[in-house]
Amino acid sequence: MFRVQVWDDDANHYVDVMLSFDQWGAAGFRHAQLGDTSAEYDDPGAAWRDAVDLQERFGDAIVTLFDTSTGERHFDERSLPEVGADAIEASAAPEIWTDDWIIQRAVRIRAASAGGDVYEPWPGYTHPMTRDQAVKALEECEERWPEHEFRAHRLRLEEKVAADAIDRARRSVRSRKYD
């Protein structure tokens, strides 16, 4: 079973969605609410078709397929199992994620009861680095820009995947501009 999910920036995770359709395919989505039947498919091809429709219509959305039987997320159809394929044949070697860190600057300092502090990636320090590199970069940032507050932030899997998808989308937009 596959679910179409969309990244929710406010919640900082993927959410199940309900889809709306027109004559050309999936035309819109909204967050699935308690009691809703989310967009679920037995056929990964049909699920991917609707996910691609959403991605094309909502270029800033990060759309994924969540395989409920394995717990894997699929961001392109190359990693989807084929219908009727043996699970061993269909599964690719899992991608290994290492500990990656980036430097962020405090945008707004708030009390924990008000939702906590808000940080944004600091330009020039957004490429993933090791913990040791992040400590050195943090010291450099604090020395160069003492008027700002910084932190070294360990990227979670969802953030890494979202950042990768955003980078791919930006590259595709840039390449379309020059065609």
> Which pLDDT score is estimated for 41?
87
Q: What separation in angstroms does the CA of 140 have from each of 102, 103, 109, 128, 145?
A: 13, 10, 21, 16, 8
- Grouping H, G, I as helix, E, B as strand and the rest as coil, residue 169 is helix
> Which pLDDT score is estimated for 10?
76
What's the rounded mean pLDDT across residues 104-127?
A: 77
Question: Does residue 39 lie within any of the structural domains?
Answer: yes
Question: Does residue 47 lie within any of the structural domains?
Answer: yes
Domain span at residue 145? 101-154
How sure is the predictor about 147, in pLDDT bands with cuts at 50, 70 and 90? very high
Q: How far apart are CA 53 and CA 22, in angstroms?
A: 11
Question: Does residue 36 lie within any of the structural domains?
Answer: yes
Question: Does residue 56 lie within any of the structural domains?
Answer: yes
Residues 68 and 119 in one domain: no
- The structure tokens listed for 38 are 């989310």
> Which pLDDT score is estimated for 139?
93
Question: Does residue 87 lie within any of the structural domains?
Answer: no
Residues 71 and 18 in one domain: yes
What's the rounded mean pLDDT across residues 131-160?
A: 86
Residues 51-96: pLDDT tens digits? 888 877 777 777 888 888 888 777 655 545 554 444 334 344 444 4
Residues 119 and 67 in one domain: no
> Which pLDDT score is estimated for 86?
41
- Answer yes or no: is pLDDT of 171 > 50: yes
Query: How many domains does the chain contain in total?
Result: 2
Question: Does residue 23 lie within any of the structural domains?
Answer: yes
Question: Does residue 73 lie within any of the structural domains?
Answer: yes
Residues 13-39: pLDDT tens digits? 788 888 888 888 888 888 888 887 788
| pLDDT averaged over every residue in the chain | 76
